[in-house]
Structure 1
Amino acid sequence: MDNQEKETLDRIHEQVTNNPVVIYMKGTPQMPSCGFSSRTAQAMVETGEKFAFVNVLADPLIFEYLPKYQDWPTFPQVYIGGELQGGCDITLELAESGELKTLMAKANEAVSEEA
């Protein structure tokens, strides 16, 4: 592992652990650049819960190394409470069952209690 890869993976780890809910996506929730990212971000917006996002197209290093972080090859990637939930299909299933809102609320609440 070269220095650039290590620094990028460390940065990803900080983003995942410092944000209760984060989506790595192509584009932004307001201007997604792919259908999978669009549907995933929309499902997250519809929960009414707060979440952070990282536009992987704006950061070539994250685009390159994020798939190695949790051995998940595709985008988007959704992390809740520091744990990879999955991509589009899994997030939409969680949204449909109502579990996405519950998981996001619990992660956001945990941070509020720490503050």
Structure 2
Amino acid sequence: MTTHARIDEIVKGNDVVLFMKGTPLFPQCGFSSRAVAILERLGVDYASVDVLQDMEIRQGIKAYSDWPTIPQLYVKGEFVGGSDIMTEMFEAGELAELMAQAEVKPAA
């Protein structure tokens, strides 16, 4: 399976997925930490992928989204953005609205 196909399967197989450095319990950069904090505040169920564990995914996700930085958030298969865009959308109430419109399940 190609890296693009692997990423596509992850993105389409989860309502919300965050490609990040580290894990939600142990983020490895400030931007990933901020992204996790936002998702936790929203109280949504999400999957995460630690790009530090797989260099093919780390490089491949940048090509997949045509976005140069990590973290990257996807909701219902659509690229939302990185931590700066997530922060702006969260502060404006747009990210919560997007999650509600996408009927994302709350965290268990």
Structure with greater Cα Rg: 1
Please report the TM-score for the alignment, with normalisation by the length of structure 1: 0.84
Structure 1 runs of 4+ with >4 Å offset = none
**RMSD across aligned C-alpha pairs, in angstroms?**
1.5
Amino acid at match of 2:12: T
Q: What is the total number of aligned residue pairs between the two structures?
A: 105
Q: Deviations over 1:29-78 (max 9, x none)?
A: 11000000100111111101111110000111101211100211100000
Instruction: Determine the C-alpha separation between the residues in 1 that align with 2:43 and 2:93.
Output: 12
Q: Which residue is 1:3 aligned to?
A: none
Greater percentage in helix = 1
Amino acid at match of 1:14: E
User: Where does the alignment leave 5 or more consecutive residues of structure 2 unmatched?
Assistant: none
User: Where does the alignment leave 5 or more consecutive residues of structure 1 unmatched?
Assistant: 1-5
Instruction: Determine the C-alpha separation between the residues in 1 that align with 2:85 and 2:104.
Output: 23
Q: Which residue is 2:38 aligned to?
A: 43
Instruction: Determine the C-alpha separation between the residues in 1 that align with 2:8 and 2:100.
Output: 21
Q: Deviations over 1:91-115 (max 9, x none)?
A: 01111112212222333x378xxxx
Q: Which residue is 1:19 aligned to?
A: 14
Please report the TM-score for the alignment, with normalisation by the length of structure 2: 0.90
